[in-house]
Chain A
Amino acid sequence: MQDSLSQAWLWWIPLLPLVGSALCGALHLATLRARKSDPSAKGLSAFAPLVACAAMAGALALAVRGFVDLRALAPSARTLLSTSWEWITIGNPARPWFDVDVALVLDPLSSTLTLVITGVGLLIHIYAAGYMKGDAGYAKFFAYLNLFVFAMLILVLSSSLLGVFVGWEGVGLCSYLLIGFWYEKGWPAEAAQKAFVTNRVGDACFLIGSFLLLRLFGTLDLADIVMRMKADFRLDTIDAGTQLNLSLAALFLFGGCCGKSAQLPLFTWLPDAMAGPTPVSALIHAATMVTSGIYLIVRLNPLFASSPTVMTLISAVGVTTALIGGSTALVQRDIKKVLAYSTVSQLGYMFLGLGTGAFAAAVFHLVTHAFFKALLFLGAGSVIHGMHEEQDMHKMGGLRKHMPQTFATFLAGAAALSGLPLMSGFFSKDEILAHTFNSGGVYYAFWIVGVLTAAMTAYYTWRMVALTFFGSERFDHHHVHPHESPALMTVPLMVLALLSVLGGVLGLPPVFHVAHVLDGWLAPVVEPGKAILAMHHPHEHLSHTVEWVLLGLGSAVALAFAHTGFHAYTRGAERDLAIERGAPGVAGFLNEAWTIDSAYSRLVVMPLRLCAFTVRFVIDQLVIDGLVNGSATAVKNIAGRVRGMASGQLESYALWMGAGAALISLWWMWS
């Protein structure tokens, strides 16, 4: 660990986007002022993307510098720490029992995520400069977007769980602001509220988990917790009570992750979050924010590894979510909804991997998913832009001739998502499935569901490609004239397409006889968890034959279902209509994400509404308002009777005074 003062530059990684956000906000206010005199004035808002992109580029440059600095160190010493000040110290200052520093830590894990956030973030910022052009809130959008990046960087760089929570809430807030960016339309505001409220359930779990950790370890410092787990909490010496507390803490923290990372049972907000502008969906609801749950679990990997029950639960939740998300994406007509459910499903894969102890594999899938899902979202945005805000794929078709660049890059993203051989998604997904297969026991069942979901993934991905870019042109030619998006939007697509295709080199499987880059890079971070898992059940590596078989199976499933999905829909949307006619029950069930959302409406939202209704009309209007208004009315009535005494006649006042004086005198005389 190096001298912490010399690492103060670390602070500029999150601070640059914060400064950018403040500047963009100022530009927005200046624009609003200019609009007072001229409603169509653009003001200074055209400078906002420049400011925001410059801030992102600066943050990316610093992130790269941090990465280079880290690489120069020995693997076990790869930590850069910058402590700024003591935030909270309670108790004896020499030996406080609660002590939180404001500090940033750059280690292999946070470095990886910082690179993804700033790198993909920069591309999305550039894209957004083109996508949001002409919007009334152009500068405001970049202010929110930069603020989000700031919060996200705080989340991954903070050294303590409390700092993580600050970022955790910050990204939640920015997600809320950006989902509801077009709040005038009505439904985006509702979607934003839904996202916020659903996340609150998870955040409460996060807090409870943090408190449990504080009670167990007396600290919220992440490195300290990991160290104490390694030193004091050996599985063979641990007592049952502590084990239970550890499991509970892990369980609650996982609950927090379920909220943020859209897992069962809290995933319903993510598809609705597509009400936000498409760059937001790409940045927040695909590439970065929704992966913070994965980050948290990898960060505290020894805690989770010490509780096999919770690990199995994580895998079970992950694979179930993957299945629900994947099957729902099969029948969606809205292109962004397909991608949203696909994101839910892919996040499920990551949790499946985490539950098997394949922490590095989960991060690998996180990184490749950030590339290809951001690419697909941006591509979808480009399509929506070119189609004049049309999102229904049944009203698209044949766009490959009109939007060749978007089409080519979208193909790359689709290939990666569906796991076509040698694409980035192929390697990361198969690594997770291989780890699942290797874990044995109940994990065989998870593996089968995982493969099934992979088949669905390939199917719906290529269904989407076929419906959008192939077949007959089903849109109204009089009103819609599809056109390629400007270079500002297509260049980021190309960069992301390159990353989606080549991202696999970060983690080639052992059978290729080359080093797994990400595995080696993250080894110092995930080693404590691995050590605890190894104590549980010794981990045997898969034989090369089995691995080849698994890889081959993965390729075959992906190719076969990609082919089926593609060819079923190149003619048009006939197959969808046939399904709806043939099995309306199944189609409806899938279309509504296994009717989980409507179940929530029925079981949670409606009773709460009823409760609120009762409280409003009975308790508030009847009891409380009754008390307040009643006392006011009583005072008024009494005053109305008494006011007659004040007649304005001097004599009557004198009479009352005299009478009063006489009464008092009499009272004195007789008492």
Chain B
Amino acid sequence: MNVPSEHLFFLSAGLFALGVLGFLVRRNVIVALMCVELMLNAANLAFLAASRSHSSPGALDLQGPVFSIFVITVAAAEAAVGLALVIALYRLKQSVETDSASEMKG
């Protein structure tokens, strides 16, 4: 079965849009972080799709896979820091709702 690359791009855009929507709509910080992961993975999918469309049978394009591995690494670090922040926020406010931390209001 040969899926055209365009479909992969549309799937990636759809996943990204879901992530953005979730980030904007949900108040729970953990869910927001999960949405960020979703967006990152959507980007990974886009990388891989682009890589596939640039490859020919004799010459594989490796930039896309390499970038997505970097993104996964960074996403792991981001998750670690993000969850640590969530714990700190919970200790401070006894809540993980984003509304509970709005002191920076102008």
**Interface residue ranges, A against B (CB under 8 Å):** 643-651, 654-655, 658
Contact = CB atoms under 8 A, between A and B. Distances in A.
B89 to A, nearest CB: 11
B61 to A, nearest CB: 22
Interface in B8-42: 20, 23-25, 32
B58 interface: no
B24 A648 contact: no
Contact of A658 (B20, B25, B32): B20
A648 B23 contact: no
B106 interface: yes
A649 B98 contact: yes
Interface in B47-106: 98-99, 101-106
14 contacts: A644-B106, A645-B106, A646-B104, A646-B105, A647-B102, A647-B106, A648-B101, A648-B104, A648-B106, A649-B102, A650-B101, A651-B23, A651-B25, A654-B23
Contacts of A645: 106
Given A649-B98, A649-B99, A655 B24 contact: yes
A648 B20 contact: no
Nearest to B20: A658
B32 A648 contact: no
A645 B24 CA distance: 16
Contacts of A650: 32, 98, 101
A654 B24 CA distance: 7
Contacts of A654: 23-24
Contacts of A648: 101-106
Contacts of A658: 20
B36 to A, nearest CB: 10
A658 B36 CA distance: 13
Contacts of A655: 24
Contacts of B32: 650
Task: State the majority secondary structure of interface residues on A.
Answer: helix
Contacts, number: 30
A403 B104 CA distance: 84
A651 B32 CA distance: 10
A372 B8 CA distance: 115
Contacts of A643: 106
Contacts of A646: 104-106
Given A644-B106, A648-B105, 10 more contacts: A643-B106, A646-B104, A646-B106, A647-B106, A648-B101, A648-B104, A649-B102, A651-B24, A651-B98, A654-B23
Contacts of B98: 649-651
A651 B26 CA distance: 9
B105 A647 contact: yes
A490 B32 CA distance: 99
Contacts of B103: 648
Contacts of B105: 646-649
Nearest to A653: B104
A397 B102 CA distance: 88
A644 B101 CA distance: 17
A613 B23 CA distance: 64
Nearest to B97: A650
A543 B106 CA distance: 101
A140 B99 CA distance: 69
A658 B104 CA distance: 19
A445 B25 CA distance: 108
Nearest to B27: A651
Contacts of A647: 102, 105-106
B27 to A, nearest CB: 8
Nearest to A655: B24
Contacts of B101: 648, 650
Nearest to B104: A648
Listed residue (A643, A651, A658) with the most chain B CB atoms within 10 angstroms of its CB: A651
A644 B105 CA distance: 8
A647 B101 CA distance: 11
Contacts of B24: 651, 654-655
Contacts of B20: 658
Nearest to A644: B106
- Report, nearest first, the 7 A-B pairs whose CB atoms are least far apart: A648-B105, A648-B102, A646-B106, A643-B106, A650-B98, A648-B104, A651-B24
